[in-house]
């Protein structure tokens, strides 16, 4: 009798568990069907609204591909001499994947009182100007971005020198030699081609001299404080043949941040040409203080 009751109880429990399992599976199927029907009836607005505010666990700061800065400086003299010097420029930097492109445009304008030969009246007008454009594109050869190949283009018109214009193109190999949180050093070297157009003189008419060169560049950047940065740039365009003009340039700049997007920049530039006309100087220097706006 006891055995019969135990077997009967076990049978009833088995049937009940099986029924509950079947009911649970049917219920899950029904829920799945209802969800499918609900999704099939959802409108485009419902789907978009569900994607508007996804849960973000980690915020990722995306570095902009294009950044730039513009600078402006002004010097005005009165009294015995009335003149004005205006210096302006723009720098652009584009970076994506292994590509890095830089472009720099500088303009210097000098205005002064010039006496009219016929009437003798003086007029305030532009007497000299200088503008330069330089562009370089680097392609990193490895993921560490230490080694790269580059292409460089440079053009300058300078009324203050003995040249109508100067230009060069170069390509070669470079390396990011040193990099920390406080300082960085880049350097590259390669063959190139240079073209100088000289001004007319009493001895010779306007003529152009072209030559092959070896170009080498180096840029050193160091943070002197939380808001102060030092940059030292050196460039050499060395003519291969003896007696042809070579160009050496050095530029030192110190930038101090005033606010988040405005800086004060002090720049000292040295340009040296080895082969020029007798009435011109080999060395040109330029000192400038400008305001720089970053964007």
Which residue has 């291969």 as its token pair? 240
CA distance 19 to 11: 12
Least confident residue range of 18-27, 86-95, 190-199, 261-270 = 18-27
Q: Are residues 39 and 75 in the same domain?
A: no
CA distance 230 to 263: 13
Q: Are residues 135 and 172 in the same domain?
A: yes
Residue 59 inside a domain? The answer is no
Mean pLDDT (whole number) for 4-26: 44
Does 198 or 252 have the greater pLDDT score?
Answer: 252
Q: Are residues 191 and 118 in the same domain?
A: yes
Q: Are residues 90 and 179 in the same domain?
A: yes
Q: Are residues 156 and 14 in the same domain?
A: no
CA distance 176 to 195: 29
Whether 236 and 265 have beta carbons less than 8 Å apart is answered as: no
Q: Are residues 271 and 168 in the same domain?
A: yes
Whether 252 and 231 have beta carbons less than 8 Å apart is answered as: yes
CA distance 205 to 212: 23
CA distance 69 to 104: 10
pLDDT of residue 56: 52
Residue 268 inside a domain? The answer is yes
Mean pLDDT (whole number) for 93-115: 90
Q: Are residues 163 and 79 in the same domain?
A: yes
Does 211 or 54 have the greater pLDDT score?
Answer: 211
Domain that holds residue 154: 66-294
Residue 134 inside a domain? The answer is yes
Q: Are residues 109 and 193 in the same domain?
A: yes
Number of domains into which the chain is organized: 2
Residue 56 inside a domain? The answer is no
Mean pLDDT (whole number) for 77-82: 66
Q: Are residues 13 and 94 in the same domain?
A: no
Q: Are residues 231 and 262 in the same domain?
A: yes
Q: Are residues 32 and 136 in the same domain?
A: no
**CATH number reported for the structural domain that contains residue 193 in this entry:** 2.40.160.40
Residue 61 inside a domain? The answer is no
């Amino acid at each position: 009798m006891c055995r019969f009751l135990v077997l009967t109880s076990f049978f009833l429990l088995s049937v009940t568990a099986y029924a509950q399992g079947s009911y649970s599976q049917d219920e899950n199927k029904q829920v799945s069907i209802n969800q499918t029907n609900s999704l099939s009836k959802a409108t485009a607005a419902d789907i978009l609204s569900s994607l508007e505010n996804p849960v973000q666990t980690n915020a990722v700061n995306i570095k902009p591909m294009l950044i730039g800065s513009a600078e402006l400086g002004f010097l005005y003299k009165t009294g015995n001499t009335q003149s004005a010097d205006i210096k302006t420029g723009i720098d652009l930097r584009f970076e994506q994947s292994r590509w890095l492109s830089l472009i720099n445009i500088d303009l210097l304008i000098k205005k002064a009182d010039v006496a009219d030969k016929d009437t003798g009246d003086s007029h305030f007008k532009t007497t000299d100007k200088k503008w330069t454009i330089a562009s370089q594109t680097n392609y990193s050869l490895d993921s560490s971005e230490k080694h790269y190949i580059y292409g460089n283009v440079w053009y300058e018109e300078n009324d203050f020198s003995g040249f109508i214009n100067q230009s060069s193109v170069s390509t070669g190999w470079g390396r990011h030699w040193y990099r920390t949180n406080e300082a960085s050093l880049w350097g590259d070297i390669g063959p190139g081609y240079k073209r100088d157009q000289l001004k007319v003189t009493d001895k010779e008419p306007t003529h152009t001299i072209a030559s092959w060169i070896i170009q080498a560049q180096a840029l050193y950047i160091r943070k002197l404080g939380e808001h102060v940065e030092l940059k030292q740039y050196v460039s050499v365009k060395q003519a291969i043949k003896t007696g042809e003009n070579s160009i050496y340039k050095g530029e030192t700049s110190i930038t101090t941040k005033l606010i988040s997007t405005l800086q004060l920049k002090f720049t000292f530039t040295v340009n040296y040409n080895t082969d020029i006309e007798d009435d011109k100087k080999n060395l040109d220097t330029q000192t400038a203080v400008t305001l720089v706006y970053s964007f």
